[in-house]
Amino acid sequence: MNSTPSLLNRILLTLLGLVLLAAGLLLVLLATAPAVANWWQSWSPGVWAGINQAFNATRFPGRGESWLWILVALALLLLIGLMVAWIAQQGKGRDNLLAAEYDPGEVPGDVRVGGGVAEQALKHALAGRPDLAGASVTTYSVKGSPALKVRLLPRQGVAPHLLAAEVSGLLSALEAVVGRETPVLIHIAAGARTRFGRAERVR
């Protein structure tokens, strides 16, 4: 429901995992395989010599520094900027406003209902239920309109459709109190807590 770039996150995590896996595999092979160690000892000096030659050939006139360091610094700054922009995109869409309406009554003004009202009310209604291993409620802004996401972790043996129907009844009561219909996403998930937690009803 939010604008977090989940596909980009998965791609970046996959690439990072592959790089770390390759580096770890190389280190293991260097330590255990003599043929790989011999290849590395014969290959790495030539690469290091080529890098040194490139830096020596690009020195400023009359100075010992290479202008390639400037390119390295710019590349690092660009990488830092991209990382900051990527971090800023995480978790976008969260909101703390459930409803807002102008009241032209005796004392005109805006009436606002915070998202924490719905979150705390639903969490309190779902707390202590033996058929739930966990529950969370979050308010989001979807295309400028408030919406709720209810994430449920049912225990083993709990019928998801019955649980969704009961939660829908709680949401209808909440809408009646607030006086406005709110789009809701009910996410019924499974996790370690549901697999290893004690079942409260016979499967």
Q: How many helices (H) and strands (E) does the chain have?
A: 6, 5
Residue 30 neighbours by CB under 8 Å, 6+ apart = 36, 37, 40
Q: Which of 10-19, 66-75, 76-85, 132-141 has the lowest mean pLDDT?
A: 132-141
Q: In the predicted model, is pLDDT for residue 43 greater than 80?
A: yes
Give the mean pLDDT of the chain: 80
97-196 is classed in which CATH architecture?
A: 2-Layer Sandwich (3.30)
Give the pLDDT of residue 92.
59
Q: In the predicted model, is pLDDT for residue 66 greater than 80?
A: yes
Could you report the per-residue pLDDT of 141-195, keeping only the tens digit for each? Answer: 777 777 888 888 888 878 888 888 888 888 888 888 777 777 888 888 775 554 5
Residue 193 near residue 133, CB atoms below 8 Å: yes
According to DSSP, the residues that pair with 141 across neighbouring strands are 146
Four-CA torsion 21, 27, 28, 32, nearest 10 degrees: 160
Give which of 163, 137, 164 is closest to 148, Cα–Cα. Answer: 137
Q: In the predicted model, is pLDDT for residue 83 greater than 60?
A: yes
Could you report the per-residue pLDDT of 14-23, keeping only the tens digit for each? Answer: 999 999 999 9
Work out the pLDDT band at 95, boundaries 50, 70, 90: low
197 CB-side CA count, 13 A: 19
Q: Where are the domains of the chain?
A: 6-88, 97-196
Residue 13 neighbours by CB under 8 Å, 6+ apart = none
Give the pLDDT of residue 15.
93
**pLDDT, average across residues 59-81:** 87
Q: Which of 88-92, 109-113, 149-153 has the lowest mean pLDDT?
A: 88-92
Q: In the predicted model, is pLDDT for residue 68 greater than 80?
A: yes
Percent of the chain with pLDDT over 70: 87
Residue 141 near residue 182, CB atoms below 8 Å: no
Residue 95 neighbours by CB under 8 Å, 6+ apart = 115, 139, 140, 141, 146
Residue 11 near residue 195, CB atoms below 8 Å: no
First-last CA distance in the chain: 32
pTM above 0.85, yes or no: no
Q: In the predicted model, is pLDDT for residue 27 greater than 80?
A: yes
